[in-house]
Amino acid sequence: MRIVLGIGAGIAAYKSCELLRLLTESGHNVRVVPTADALRFVGEPTWAALSGEPVSSGVWDDVHDVPHVRLGQTADLVMVAPATADLLARAAAGMSDDLLTAVLLTARCPVVFAPAMHTEMWQHPATQANVSVLRERGAVVVDPATGRLTGPDTGPGRLPEPAELFAIALRVLARGAGGLAPDLSGRRVLVSAGGTREELDPVRFIGNWSSGRQGYALARAAAARGAKVTVVSANVALDDPAGANVVRVTSALQMRDAVMAAAAEADAVVMAAAVADYRPENRSDSKIKKTGASPPPLRLAQNPDILRELSRDRPRPGQVVVGFAAETGNLRANGQAKLAAKGCDLLVVNQVGGGLAFGTDDNEALILAAEGAETAVPRGPKEVLSDVIWDLVASRLV
């Protein structure tokens, strides 16, 4: 695929060197188009050496090739990372005062912006208005991460990690949007991920093997399709998905509170987390000591059924609710029984154990719909299953 990687004039430009490496090493042809001031942060020789392609920043370079038109016309994807406040403003205004903004005007392929700037600049009404304009025109604008910025400042405005931006690029390319508006643009979605832990004492807990990979793949896929994504994450040791607001929890009770709060604004909720059905009835405030005697029996209390509660008491009209069911027996029979009991719109049923589902990069599933339809997804990357799920969700959103 032919990719144009636009570089704005921000200190985060150094992180795009790693993004460029990931794109080229995966077999894509990448042409780097920096703004003139971006070259103050990372010089032209670096971009040329990493991409193996000539680097231009001005419309007067190589005029005989008409780069300000040809680059955009022939690209399969244009990704701008970092996208500064100034660059977002010029793109929203339709300006073409340098090569990069001219490429943005001529591109008829998917366009992804990854903003990076100080918190105050990101939150300014002018920047938010420019982002809204770009999204309305069909561009994917990935919300920045929250973290350390230039100097001592911390807050939203940090460029997501290169590997996460690379994953977004792959999902957009896989969709082959052809310049059409992403089908989840303007939608708010909520995804739960990971596995809850129920504490026995300050040292021990009851848990499960969920790694959060499927939930995070769902979050990346939704962001690549233009959605504003919130992830309620339970005990996940992965980089935050690019473009997602991540809320961290530990237990099922904490997840229930976080999910219910976020669901109030969500058009769709996908409960991919493995939520413990039970918790210890009594948690010890101190470590339970081994005395040599038989341990006391472990008494369990039932946790709230978050999926059933969400399905029954939907906080928004037309909200689509998707559940996951990890099974070890008859997928169809167990899944149909659980779908009827939970009351959700879609139930993703997958086999677990024996190296399947938990902690792996791939998955296979049977997706059951409340109206009786079935969609079988053969074993493959979790990103592929994610796109099938969002296809089904998008078709139900009104």
140-141 and 145-148 as β-strands: parallel, antiparallel, unpaired? unpaired
- CA 341 from centre of chain: 29
Given the structure tokens 């935050």, which residue do they identify? 240
Structure tokens that stand for 154 in this block = 């911390």
E strands, the chain, in order? 2-7, 29-34, 77-83, 111-115, 140-141, 145-148, 154-158, 188-194, 198-199, 205-206, 228-234, 244-249, 268-271, 278-280, 300-302, 320-327, 346-351, 362-369, 374-381
The sign of the dihedral angle between the CA atoms of 229, 143, 240, 233 is negative
Helix, strand, coil percentages (3-state) for the chain, rounded to 5, are 35, 25, 40
Amino acid (1-letter code) at residue 361: D
Burial class of residue 69, CB neighbours in 10 A (0-12, 13-18, 19+)? middle
Query: Count of CB atoms within 10 A of residue 393's CB?
Result: 26
Of 29, 130, 208, 363, the active-site residue reads 208
Burial class of residue 293, CB neighbours in 10 A (0-12, 13-18, 19+)? exposed
Rounded CA Rg of the chain: 23
Does the annotation count 245 as an active-site position? Answer: no
Q: Which residues does the annotation mark as catalytic?
A: 208
